[in-house]
Structure 1
Amino acid sequence: MTSHNWIDLTQDADTGIETLRAHFEGHAYDPHWHDSYLVGVTEQGVQQFNCRRARHQSTPGKVFLLEPGDIHDGEAPTADGFTYRMLYLDPQWLQRELGAVFDHAPDNSQLSFAATLASDARLAQATSLAFETLHRGELKIVRQTALDGLLERLTSHLHWRTRDGQDPRLPRVAQKAREYLHANAQYDIGLDQLAAVTGVDRFRLTRAFKAAYGMAPHAYLVQLRLATARRLLARGEQPATVAMQLGFADQSHLGRWFMRAYGLTPALYRKRCSNLPDRQTRGL
């Protein structure tokens, strides 16, 4: 990350919502995914990213909407870079808060965004207001009112879709491999081992997995570990402990992958989300 790039991150204690404001020039971050719903607004410049097999360019005032598991990257195609603000919404919180609007969810379904990029001035305004109240730690009633305004605007961009685990369009080989990775993410899993579980050779496995999820099994495993690392760090776990628990070679190994995906170190992420002091800083 160059000296021109910066990140300002906090976490709301009541809702667990992370608020992030950042500026990047050139390459911002490698392809990765989150286990949260992402709602963000581009403030300045052109925010270019690949998601759902399409390239998007978000310009000032546009809202980008990503679901848990959506693989995306980020870069600035223009010299002045881009600035954006983002809300990371916990899926359980979102579904609970929208319960009164959507009544009961259909069986085996989850909330989904209709489009990745939206030109909705009122949603952009509601997103920015929610960001400001959470990021600045306004009174609880002010934060809740702003979030209600965001949810009200967000409903027109949400619908229910079938969960991936039961989606007949995804090859069974890819599903079995994904389930195995989720169940054994902390172990040093080899392709031969994964192929044996799915009953095909390594090459067919990799092709099926990439076709279904947009990245190779090894890359998916790293992203799965990183998503878990975010949760553990936000709860106050030390980076070295998280690295060991999730199967990274050491704290430095976790730090390199974390930086490439999110643009900040595990220690800084932990500090911003948990407000706990660091006991160690080596190898971040």
Structure 2
Amino acid sequence: MHSGNWIDLAQDADTGIETLRAHFKGHAYDPHWHDSYLIGFTETGVQQFRCRQARNVSTPGKVFFLEPGEIHDGDAPTAGGFTYRMLYLDPQWLEREVGALFEEAPADCQLSVPQVLFDDTRMAAAIDAAFQAVHGQDLRIVRQAALDELLGGLTRRLHWRKRVDNHPRLPLAALRARDYLHANLMQDIDLDDLARAAGCDRFRLSRAFKEAFGLPPHAYLVQLRLARARQLLGRGLAPAQVAADLGFADQSHLGRWFRRAYGVTPAYYRQRCSKLPD
């Protein structure tokens, strides 16, 4: 990790919400995604990230909000770096909690985020209060009240979107390949396997896949494995076991990819989320 960078991470046992406060200088992390909703704000400095094929620049007080699966990176374009705080919200928890705020939540829909970066002082204050209550392990009733306040604010920023299994604008070969990767993420897959499953040659598949999902198939598979690694480490599995289970060459190989994506080592993540000794 770059000298001067730091990360403070915790996980709430009741909700599964992860809380993160961090400071980065220079390059923060490579393109990656999470299987959670990400909601946070920049405290100090200039935070720059690419998401939805656009460069976003967040300055103090600006709120960022990303959907599960959205590819993003991060870096500090100015010398002092940037500090931010953020909550990772489990999609099932969020949809259940937000759905309860509506008299009749629409059927067969999922929550979507129309805008990834915006100015909203009330939202930033609600994120801050929720972060402090959850990260500081305040009384359960205090944590619940702060999260309820945040959820009320999120209803102004979230939209309901009809669930679609196969997006009509994405090529069928890319969709087949994606489904194959999800079903076989622990296997030693090669591009020929993937091309056979997708029904086209591997060169056409690689181009179509990257255009559809923003990453080539091999990088997408790594992200799938890293997302699963977070889950397993959070449950307390040892990094060496996780590396072996997910098809990484060894623990150090998992560690290199994990640090590039999340800025922390697998051992640190496991210790902070599972509360087990390192």
State the TM bucket, normalised to the shorter chain.
over 0.9
Matched residue SS, 2:159? strand
Q: 1:118, CA displacement in angstroms?
A: 1.6
For residues 29-67 of structure 1, give each alpha carbon's deviation from its aligned partner in whole angstroms, at most 9, with x where no partner exists: 000000000001100001000001000001111110000
1:114 match: secondary structure: coil
- Match in the other structure for 1:132: 132
TM-superposed deviation, 1:163: 3.6
Match of 2:231 in 1: 231
Match of 1:282 in 2: none
The aligned counterpart of 2:214 is 214
Aligned residue runs from structure 1 range 8-47, under 5 A: 8-47=8-47
2 CA distance for matches of 1:266 and 1:73?
A: 19
Match of 1:161 in 2: 161
Task: Find the residue that maps to 2:221 and give its secondary structure.
Answer: helix
1:172 aligned partner: 172
Q: 1:221 to 1:18 in 2, by over 3 A?
A: same
Structure 1 residues 219 and 163, CA gap change in structure 2 (3 angstroms): farther
Q: How many angstroms apart in 1 are the aligned matches of 2:172 and 2:159?
A: 25
TM-score, normalised via structure 2 length:
0.98
Task: Tell me the distance in 1 between the aligned counterparts of 2:99 and 2:154.
Answer: 13
What is residue 263 of structure 2 aligned with on the other side? Answer: 263
Match of 1:123 in 2: 123
Q: Is the 8 A contact 1:42 1:62 kept in 2?
A: yes
Deviation (angstroms), 1:161: 1.9
In the alignment, which residue of structure 2 is the partner of 1:186? 186
- Matched position secondary structure for 2:207: helix
- The offset of 1:164, in angstroms, is 5.3
Shift of 1:115: 0.3
Q: 1:255 deviation in Å?
A: 0.4
The residue aligned with 2:67 is 67
In structure 2, the residue corresponding to 1:23 is in which secondary structure? strand
SS at match of 2:16: coil
Count of paired positions: 277
**Residues in 2 aligned to 1:218 and 1:105: alpha-carbon distance in whole angstroms:** 36
Displacement after TM superposition at 1:233 (Å): 0.4
Q: Aligned pair 1:106/2:107, yes or no?
A: yes
Report the counterpart of residue 147 of structure 1 in structure 2.
147
8 Å CA contact 1:165–1:175 kept in 2: the answer is no
Counterpart Cα distance in 2 of 1:148 and 1:254: 37
Distance 1:78 1:163 in 2: 40
Give the distance between the partners of 2:44 and 2:84, measured in 1 at CA.
Answer: 7
CA-to-partner distance for each residue in 1:6-48, whole Å, 9 max, x for gaps?
Answer: 0000001110100000000000000000000000110000100
Distance of 1:49 and 1:271 partners within structure 2: 28
- Is this contact kept in 2: 1:106–1:160, CA < 8 A? no
After TM superposition, what 4+ stretches of structure 1 lie above 4 angstroms from structure 2? none
Contact 1:49 1:75 in 2 (8 A): yes
Amino acid across the alignment from 1:31 = P
Same amino acid, percent of matched pairs: 69
Which residue does 2:49 correspond to in 1?
A: 49
Deviations 1:234-269 (A, max 9, x none): 011111111111111111110000000000000000
Secondary structure at 2:8 match in 1? strand
- How far residue 203 of structure 1 moved from its aligned partner, in angstroms, is 1.1
SS in 2 for 1:10: strand
Equivalences for residues 58-97 of structure 1 within 5 A: 58-97=58-97
- Point out where structure 1 has 5 or more consecutive residues left out of the alignment: 279-284
* Larger mean Cα displacement after TM superposition, 96-105 or 256-265: 96-105
